[in-house]
């Protein structure tokens, strides 16, 4: 039977049954009439397909502030970033957007900077002076990969430095002093590795 809402002046005597059938389609009612921890929760969600008409998207997120502390299973949308928090951590992960090509978050820096998990590519311009780019703790960025490229022609070094007691290929730093040279580093959850 297809679940439906009661029709006014047409379903006398069956309103309770019709409402229960409708609500139970996607909600738990473990023991009817008996309070239970799962009662009222969704057991599944069926989403109707959208159409080409504006305002009919099946799911639409409103941009907001992400949680102060990531919560396992949470999905969040802030500005141009969509996040999902995994259960082993919990660690907030950024869901990658793709068009015809993969799009990397790119930022340019001319002085000391600490990488965040929202970064991907850092273009480092040390024409004014040498400076340091600090990696986040490997434990907070497991599986993340960052690219640091020196774009100026001076001999001023751009030095990639660790956080805490992490290592970068067994060392505490890795320097770039030649124009257009880059380093790609990957966290295994404990340390950083140049790949």
Q: What pLDDT, on the 0 to 100 scale, is given for residue 141?
A: 92
Residue 1 has pLDDT above 60, yes or no: no
How many whole angstroms separate alpha carbon 63 and alpha carbon 13? 45
Domain hosting 83: range is 61-101
Q: Give the mean pLDDT of 76-81.
A: 88
What are 135-165's pLDDT values in tens digits? 999 999 999 999 999 999 999 999 999 999 9
Residue 110 lies in a domain: yes
What are 54-73's pLDDT values in tens digits? 888 888 888 999 999 999 99
DSSP state of 83: E
Residue 90 has pLDDT above 70, yes or no: yes
CA distances from 121 to 4, 106, 116, 145 (A): 52, 5, 11, 9
Q: What pLDDT, on the 0 to 100 scale, is given for residue 85?
A: 92
Whether residue 118 sits in one domain with residue 38: no
Whether residue 47 sits in one domain with residue 24: yes
Mean model confidence pLDDT for the chain: 88
What dihedral do alpha carbons 89, 91, 97, 103 form, nearest 10°? -110
Q: Give the mean pLDDT of 11-15.
A: 82
Whether residue 184 sits in one domain with residue 112: yes
How many whole angstroms separate alpha carbon 76 and alpha carbon 163? 27
Q: Give the mean pLDDT of 23-49.
A: 75
Of 13-17, 58-62, 130-134, the poorest mean pLDDT is in: 13-17
CATH assignment at residue 186:
2.60.120
Q: Give the mean pLDDT of 19-36.
A: 74
Q: Give the mean pLDDT of 166-189.
A: 97
* Residue 188 vs residue 32, higher pLDDT: 188
Q: What pLDDT, on the 0 to 100 scale, is given for residue 100?
A: 61
Whether residue 140 sits in one domain with residue 77: no
Residue 56 lies in a domain: no
CB 148 within 8 A of CB 176: yes
Residue 4 lies in a domain: yes
Q: What pLDDT, on the 0 to 100 scale, is given for residue 158?
A: 98
Whether residue 78 sits in one domain with residue 40: no
In this prediction the pTM is 0.53
How many whole angstroms separate alpha carbon 74 and alpha carbon 87? 9
């Amino acid at each position: 039977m297809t679940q439906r809402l009661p029709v006014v002046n047409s379903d006398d005597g069956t309103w309770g049954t019709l409402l229960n059938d409708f609500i139970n389609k996607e909600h738990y009612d473990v023991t009817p009439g008996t309070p239970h921890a799962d009662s009222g929760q969704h057991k599944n969600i069926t989403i109707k397909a959208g159409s080409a008409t504006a305002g009919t998207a099946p799911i639409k997120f409103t941009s907001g502030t992400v949680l102060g502390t990531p919560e396992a299973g949470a999905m969040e949308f802030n500005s141009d970033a969509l996040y999902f928090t995994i259960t082993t951590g919990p660690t907030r992960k950024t869901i990658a957007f793709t068009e015809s090509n993969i799009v990397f978050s790119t930022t340019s820096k001319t002085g000391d900077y600490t990488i965040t998990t929202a970064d991907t590519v850092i273009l480092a311009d040390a024409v004014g002076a040498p400076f340091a780019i600090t990696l986040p703790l490997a434990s907070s960025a497991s599986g993340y990969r960052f690219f640091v490229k020196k774009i100026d022609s001076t001999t001023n070094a751009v030095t990639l430095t660790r956080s805490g007691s992490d290592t970068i290929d067994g060392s505490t730093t890795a320097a770039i002093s030649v124009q257009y040279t880059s380093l790609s580093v990957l966290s295994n959850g404990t340390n950083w590795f140049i790949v």
